[in-house]
């Protein structure tokens, strides 16, 4: 009996050892497989992280570009608003002075006007009456009649001209640009000899510029510059002509016009705005 048990034990030990070795090999194999799976999973995770980082960089670039475009738009609007407000302020100052001395309203709106022009009474259709008025009012009335006679038109009516001009300008200040443009065009047709004519051309151009009708605005500004080169509105008209050309994609012509503003009117507010716009254009070209 004892011999049989010993024999069984001798035969059983190698079989148990073999089973143990096979089990260990399987365990090692499973561990290796798990490690390989983890490595593959880690590689996949790294790739996903890299893809997300690439997308994030692209989004950051797009955000920066949008911010740049927004800044340019804000700068453009700010420059336009500043320029427009400054023109309004200067004209309001002239209007305030005219309110204090109604007889000189035309002179205050345009310092280049003849000193006696505002005091000239409305013209009469009767030639004899007109002669009497000229004799009664002296040289001022005579000068006004002579000026009107150059274009074959009736003598100007300063009071009517001022009222028509003020009405158009009131519409402009209220933001009713269509009414303002019609008012200034009507003024230009009815009062071609008014000392307010250069201002009317400027604000006519402005009424079209703010509504992005740049071609018509450019024509108004250029008319002012060709007919009234010595007007106090000439620097601003040249500036806005350059702006209009740039908006019309006539960039080279616009740059040349803005450079002319800086050389012809150095130290003026128009020259400063022209230099600022030229710097922005140069920055855009560099980018």
Position 245 in a domain: yes
| DSSP-derived secondary structure letter, 102 | G
Q: What's the pTM value of the predicted model, to 2 decimals?
A: 0.50
Token pair recorded at residue 49: 């992280």
Q: Are residues 86 and 210 in the same domain?
A: yes
- Return the CATH number at 165: 1.25.40.10
| Residue of higher predicted confidence among 86 and 57 | 57
Q: Are residues 136 and 269 in the same domain?
A: no
| Residue of higher predicted confidence among 58 and 109 | 58
Q: Are residues 137 and 177 in the same domain?
A: no
**Sign of the CA dihedral running 203, 209, 213, 215:** positive
The predicted model gives 2-31 an average pLDDT of 62
| Residue of higher predicted confidence among 187 and 51 | 187
Rounded-to-integer distance, Cα 208 and Cα 248, Å = 13
| Residue of higher predicted confidence among 52 and 116 | 52
Q: Are residues 150 and 184 in the same domain?
A: no
Q: Are residues 246 and 147 in the same domain?
A: no
What does pLDDT average to over the chain? 72
226: left (phi over 0), alpha (psi -120 to 50) or beta: alpha
Q: Are residues 173 and 247 in the same domain?
A: yes
Q: Which range is least confidently modeled, 125-129, 198-202, 220-224, 264-268?
A: 125-129
Position 224 in a domain: yes
Structural domain count of the chain: 2
Q: Are residues 225 and 151 in the same domain?
A: no
pLDDT score of 224 more than 90 = yes
Q: Are residues 139 and 280 in the same domain?
A: no
237: Cα separation from own chain's centroid: 16
What is the per-residue pLDDT for 129?
A: 36
The predicted model gives 107-125 an average pLDDT of 35
Domain boundary among 134, 155, 176: 155
List the helix and strand counts (H, then E) for the chain: 11, 0
Q: Which range is least confidently modeled, 39-43, 179-183, 207-211, 242-246?
A: 39-43
pLDDT score of 117 more than 50 = no
Could you give the angle at which helices 234-247 and 214-227 cross, rounded to 10 degrees?
Answer: 150
Distances (CA, A) of 8 to 22, 36, 125, 262: 22, 42, 149, 115
What is the per-residue pLDDT for 234?
A: 96
State which residues form the domain around 133.
Answer: 121-155
Q: Count of alpha carbons within 13 Å of 280, Cβ hemisphere only?
A: 20
């Amino acid at each position: 009996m004892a011999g049989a048990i010993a024999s069984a034990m001798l035969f059983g030990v190698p079989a148990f050892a073999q089973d143990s070795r096979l089990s260990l090999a399987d365990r090692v194999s499973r561990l290796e497989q798990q490690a390989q799976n983890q490595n593959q999973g880690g590689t996949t995770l790294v790739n996903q992280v890299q893809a997300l980082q690439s997308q994030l960089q692209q989004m950051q670039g797009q955000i920066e570009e949008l911010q740049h475009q927004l800044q340019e738009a804000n700068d453009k609007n700010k420059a336009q608003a500043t320029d427009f407000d400054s023109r309004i302020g200067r004209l309001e100052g002239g209007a305030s002075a005219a309110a204090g001395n109604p007889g000189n309203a035309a002179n205050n709106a345009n310092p280049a006007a003849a000193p006696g022009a505002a005091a000239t009474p409305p013209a009469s259709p009767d030639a004899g009456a007109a002669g009497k008025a000229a004799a009664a009012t002296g040289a001022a009335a005579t000068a006004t009649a002579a000026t009107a006679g150059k274009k074959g038109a009736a003598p100007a009516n300063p009071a009517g001209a001022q009222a028509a001009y003020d009405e158009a300008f009131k519409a402009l200040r209220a933001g009713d640009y269509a009414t303002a443009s019609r008012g200034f065009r009507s003024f230009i047709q009815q009062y071609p000899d008014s000392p307010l004519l250069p201002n009317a051309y400027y604000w006519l151009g402005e009424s079209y510029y703010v509504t992005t009708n740049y071609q018509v605005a450019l024509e108004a500004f250029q008319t002012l510059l060709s007919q009234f080169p010595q007007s106090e509105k000439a620097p601003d008209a040249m500036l806005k002509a350059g702006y209009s050309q740039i908006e019309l994609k006539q960039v080279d012509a616009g740059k040349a016009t803005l450079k002319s503003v800086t050389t012809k009117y150095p130290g003026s507010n128009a020259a400063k705005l022209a230099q600022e716009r030229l710097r922005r254009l140069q920055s855009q070209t560099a980018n």
